[in-house]
Chain A
Amino acid sequence: MTAPFQSSVIQPGAIQPVIVGAGPAGVRAAERLVAAGLRPLMIDEAARGGGQIYRQPPDGGFTRSKAALYGFEAAKADALHRTLDGLRDRVDHRPRTLVWNCEESALDLLCDGRTETVPFTHLILATGATDRVLPFPGWTLPGVFTLGGSQVALKFQGCTVGKRVAFLGTGPLLYLVAYQYLKAGVEVAGVFDTTPLPVQARALSGMLRDPVTLAKGLWYVGWLRAHGVPIHNGARPVRVEGDGRVSALVWRDAGQAGGREMRVDCDAVAYGLGLRSETQLADLAGCRFRFDAMDRAWLPERDAAGRSSVAGVYVAGDGGGVAGADAAELAGERAALALLEDAGLPFDAGRATALDRRLSRVAAFRRALSAAFPFPADWADSIADDTMICRCEGVAAGTLRAVAVNSQAREINRAKALTRLGMGRCQGRMCAAAATELLARALGTGPDGVGRLRAQPPIKPLPVSATPRFEAAAS
């Protein structure tokens, strides 16, 4: 019986770099490796490169200009797309392909229902980030989408998630997507920012380190206000109401004594509290993690150049800590230079130093961003026992608290085993932040005190017919 999936062999001494992700970090890494004469394999789940921020519309009939799609970021998006197009013959770009496992210097892929194992000598993980959310009653109702998802609907499909949309949470995306929706012609029921105004005002001085980003942010806020959109700072979500779909958002204002409960009619809620890194592959690659107090999450350890704790494995861009697209482009190129150096190939040391200098400023920018849009650290206290935390498996906050209080689970993987929280299709992507906060609060410790939800292959669902064992049996 022949093996149903190819496992190509790398010649001794040869270098086979693999890049996961074709966003800002992945594309800049590929460009630098190609310039050094290598032919990287670049694997991406999307049909076209660009990542989430510079996501390109599908082929066939889409006509909006890049200015319409990407606004102030159009030039950067266009530059990245052009770089990718220019690399076409020199990069083995594998779109629509999921990397579902990483072990022993090889990746397991899935494309068009078929699995394949590809070996690597060097691996650059540029896996990006998705919205961070904290559950509250009604968050699974049809019509509640993440901020990033709401933007994807508009950018990638020419659709809005509703006719009258409430924007809830915090972070730069909150104002950007509200602005884009208003420009698209739908009603914005309001912007409900969980960050109190005094906190944001204090953080302004930090944002002055990056005046362009600050100016864009102020522009969006000003534009929304000029068009009569109410902006509420210090708002707290209470619940989303609706019979089978969203009909209203109930929230609490920033007033005295816990504030007043308010209600706003809407048919959709776009929600997010900043971003969270996609770290599953770094975990499966064996990278050491550390708790990052700023991201309030476990992140793969990396040096300034992007080297992880595993030789030959690099982490670049938001997948190693959220810093945005500009930083991701720098980090992708820097990781590629580190790879070249580690492989004993010629590399531009001057360029590496210049990138190091620019990346060192990113840390200050990250601090400023997290000060302006802080994580609502008191969330765990506000959540009733019957609130569903794990949307895959329907696990409620009280279930998690009970296993913590009964001392059966002082660590999140134990809580997972006992409750099934984090065991569903998303593997904890949507609930791990919340579960960590709840468990930590119940145990009287910090979010760094309950361990880290570990990744399991496949990191996303595979059809049974695509598993290697099944294919082998069928052939």
Chain B
Amino acid sequence: MALLQRVAEQGRRVVRFTLDGRPAEALEGDTILTAMLTNGDQLRRSEFADSPRAGFCLMGACQDCWVRTEEGERLRACGTFIAEGLRLVSASEWAAEAASGESAS
């Protein structure tokens, strides 16, 4: 279930991407963080505590929101805008591989 709630600016163009292999929709001008957290409730799992994380400062200081694409690229979700066709992963790295495997078949 979504963590972030849209309360304004909802007339923007729809941008399509995938989240953990499933099709999802965001709006033009959304950050990756907004796109992912209006479609789910985590961005990644902590490498050390294996707990879910969803960003914290939203202004490029805390570095809590680095996410992965299925291709393995790392992006800071609060400072990078969503783009059509991005294939984002919020589960663990192993799940990323599973998702890319599924999408290839």
Contact = CB atoms under 8 A, between A and B. Distances in A.
Interface of A: 45, 52, 57-64, 68, 130-131, 140-146, 148-150, 152-154, 156-163, 184-186, 244-245, 268, 278, 388, 391-394, 424-426, 429-430, 460-461, 463
Given A61-B27, A391-B64, A143 B54 contact: yes
Contacts of A149: 55-59, 78
B5 A162 contact: yes
B66 A140 contact: no
A430 B65 CA distance: 13
B9 A153 contact: no
Interface residues of B, number: 44
Contacts, number: 156
Contacts of A244: 41-42, 52
A158 B62 contact: no
A298 to B, nearest CB: 17
What's the dominant secondary structure at chain B's contact region? Answer: loop
A403 to B, nearest CB: 18
B29 A426 contact: no
Contacts of A185: 7
B98 interface: no
Given A62-B12, A150-B58, A160-B7, 17 more contacts: A52-B59, A57-B9, A58-B81, A60-B28, A63-B9, A64-B9, A157-B9, A159-B38, A163-B5, A185-B7, A244-B52, A391-B56, A425-B64, A426-B63, A461-B63, A461-B76, A463-B74
Contacts of A52: 59
A158 B28 CA distance: 12
B60 A45 contact: yes
A131 B57 CA distance: 8
Residue from B8, B31, B48 with most neighbouring chain A CB atoms (10 Å)? B8
Nearest to A146: B57
A140 B46 contact: yes
A290 B3 CA distance: 41
Contacts of B29: 57-62, 157
B104 interface: no
Interface centre among A143, A153, A268 (most CB of B within 10 A): A153
A402 B9 CA distance: 50
B11 A63 contact: yes
Contacts of A140: 46, 49, 51, 53, 56, 64
B52 A130 contact: no
B63 to A, nearest CB: 4
A148 B63 contact: no
B56 A430 contact: yes
A130 B61 contact: yes
